[in-house]
């Protein structure tokens, strides 16, 4: 009978140790993932800085403030175009307006007809 409590204590210690190891591993994974996100964000900002004029960047920031998801979509599109080499020179304000119009979700319009 004396062996049973010792086995239970040993099992409890094993469980605690496993939980501690898993917590450490989760913490390290989270830190690594966060660092990777920060690095990706820095690279995205560098690409945008390189390929957008100041006016275009201001317009994009304004769009991001009013519609964050749409702004992120536009940023991803610009980065994709830049990485594929489809952007010659910098995107100015006029080109940014055109890009925003192309990517803008279709607005719903209602036609009211009277009989």
**Each residue of 14-63: pLDDT tens digit?**
888 888 888 877 777 777 888 888 998 899 999 999 999 999 999 999 99
What is the Cα 12 distance to its own chain's centre?
41
- pTM score, whole prediction: 0.62
Would you call 76 exposed, middle or buried from its count of C-beta atoms within 10 A (0-12, 13-18, 19+)?
exposed
What is the pLDDT at residue 10? 82
pLDDT greater than 70 at residue 2: no
Neighbours of 13 (CB within 10 A): 10
Q: In the CATH hierarchy, which fold is given to the domain comprising 3-101? A: Helicase, Ruva Protein; domain 3 (1.10.8)
The domain segmentation of the chain, as residue ranges, is 3-101
Per cent of the chain over pLDDT 70 is 94
């Amino acid at each position: 009978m004396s062996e049973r409590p010792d086995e239970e204590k040993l099992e409890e210690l094993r469980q605690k140790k496993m939980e501690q190891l898993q917590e450490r591993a989760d913490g390290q994974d989270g830190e690594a993932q966060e660092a990777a996100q920060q690095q990706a964000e820095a690279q995205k900002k560098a690409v945008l800085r390189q390929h957008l004029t100041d006016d275009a960047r201001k317009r994009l920031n304004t769009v991001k403030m009013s519609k964050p998801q749409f702004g992120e979509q536009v940023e991803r599109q610009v980065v994709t175009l830049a990485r594929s080499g489809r952007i010659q020179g910098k995107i100015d304000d006029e080109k940014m307006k055109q890009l925003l119009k192309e990517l803008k979700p279709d607005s719903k319009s209602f036609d009211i007809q009277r009989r």
